[in-house]
Amino acid sequence: MRTRIEGGAVLTAADQVAADVLVDGETVVAVAAPGAVPFEADTVVDATGCWVIPGGVDAHTHMEMPFGGTYASDTFETGTRAAAWGGTTTIVDFAIQSRGSSLREGLDAWHAKAEGNAAIDYGFHMILSDVNDQSLKEMEAVVGEGVTSFKMFMAYPGVFYSDDGQILRAMQRAGETGGLTMIHAENGIAIDVLVEQALAAGRTDPRYHGEVRHALLEAEATHRAIALARVAGAPLYVVHLSATEALAEIANAREMGVNAFAETCPQYLFLDVDELARPGFEGAKFVCSTPLRPAEHQANLWRGLRSDDLSVVSTDHCPFCFTGQKDLGVGDFSKIPNGMPGVETRMNLLHQAVLDGHLSHRRWIELACATPARMFGLYPRKGTIAPGSDADVVVYDPAATTTHSAATHHMNVDYSPYEGRTTAGAVRTVLSRGRVVLDRGEYLGEPGHGRFLRREPCQYLR
């Protein structure tokens, strides 16, 4: 099966140039001057007037994640379909080691959830929630299976939390085995004290979620994570960074030449803490951790994205329905399952950011495709359009618009954080390994097309 994508402008992190893209089977075989290469094709995709971009790489999703007595509402089937609708063709999801279980059990469970169900390709990170001699030993084998990154939590005591000794030991081991340590940087012990005090004072509404998860407790944990990583001599990647003060810690470390990286997420760029104060418990829709911050943090995050102190935009897609899930926390904000939907909206929101003057077109692709692929050992197979790359290609129409709404989105969740918002640009056609999975509003993908990606170690070290 040969496909020619013609008439568009190919946009990668490195270049923007009028070109045809030639695909043979699952692979890009040439990017050529318009009409220059005679190429018999079974399918021609017209990209006139459009960007031809690499499929999005979302390095932070939680399909079916257990949290707060329930499960994230997207399965691999529904979540990867929604990703494709939004122009994302690769996700890296978090397999979870439960307390008292092995890494092997956690990884097997995640393979079972994904295998045969995913519409696009997927990899796994491994969440360590029980760092002990056995799990430290297992890390090498896990890296050998292409799961080359490990997340630990400084938050959520009693659930996913690791103490500093456990984090240091796992960082040392990650350094030895070629794994990248990802850290959820919030001081969970201190936050739990503030939660207890808030509830005792009758402050039970969602808005107090934002108050107890103080920006300084994100900054302190970020500082500590950097120090532990330096002591361990291992690289560090801080997930879902939201606070100016935490960003300053990353910037300072990077200035010193430390291999410290961070991502932020669209919710911190496009929404702020005021959403948590919506009446009628609606604020629960915006409960995630780290929390939404006051709007003044946003300009600093945009600056960090331009300066590369923030290297990646991922979604932290972890949806819970308002009815039946978020409402577990009526009368106690600490029982609201943490997380927001986003896997379908990221590429479009970031394109809007280009029009708003926050990012260049190439930086859009760098943050959403190329760098996440490099950071997590998938480049140049994913994250770019070049001979030899997987034919994960999106035809993106900058002249169309996208209106975000629960009534029309494809994520399995009963609300949109961006309800009614219109962004400039729209996904027109999506190829996943050479197969057209979406074309002009018609979904053509299927569960099981997506394959597990064995990843290399991080390719982004300084």
Residues forming contacts to ligand URP in the complex (CB under 6 A) are 62, 184, 240, 288-289, 316, 318, 338-339
**Of ligand URP, Zn ion, none, which one sits near residue 339, judging by CB under 5 to 8 A according to partner kind?**
ligand URP
- CB 187 to ligand URP: min, Å: 14
* Count of residues of this chain found to bind Zn ion when the rule CB under 5 A is applied: 3
**Of Zn ion, ligand URP, none, which one sits near residue 130, judging by CB under 5 to 8 A according to partner kind?**
none
Q: Taking CB under 5 A as the rule, does residue 49 contact Zn ion?
A: no
- Among all residues, whose Cβ is closest to Zn ion? 184
Q: Taking CB under 5 A as the rule, does residue 20 contact Zn ion?
A: no
**Of ligand URP, Zn ion, none, which one sits near residue 288, judging by CB under 5 to 8 A according to partner kind?**
ligand URP
Q: Taking CB under 5 A as the rule, does residue 398 contact Zn ion?
A: yes
**Of Zn ion, ligand URP, none, which one sits near residue 398, judging by CB under 5 to 8 A according to partner kind?**
Zn ion
Contact 339/288 with Cβ under 8 angstroms? yes
Q: Of 23 and 365, which CB lies nearer to Zn ion in the complex structure? A: 365
- CB 435 to Zn ion: min, Å: 26
CA distance 379 to 401: 30
- Of 16, 25, 6, the closest CA to residue 361 belongs to 16
Token pair 């956690």 is found at: 106
**Of Zn ion, ligand URP, none, which one sits near residue 207, judging by CB under 5 to 8 A according to partner kind?**
none
- Among all residues, whose Cβ is closest to ligand URP? 338
Q: Which of residues 267-326 bind Zn ion (CB under 5 A)?
A: 316
The single residue among 173, 184, 346, 409 that binds Zn ion, judged by CB under 5 A, is 184
- CB 151 to ligand URP: min, Å: 8
- CB 415 to ligand URP: min, Å: 15
**Of ligand URP, Zn ion, none, which one sits near residue 338, judging by CB under 5 to 8 A according to partner kind?**
ligand URP
Q: Of 23 and 221, which CB lies nearer to Zn ion in the complex structure? A: 221
Q: Of 174 and 183, which CB lies nearer to ligand URP in the complex structure? A: 183
- CB 193 to Zn ion: min, Å: 20
- CB 394 to Zn ion: min, Å: 13
- CB 389 to Zn ion: min, Å: 22
Binding site residues, Zn ion, CB under 5 A: 184, 316, 398
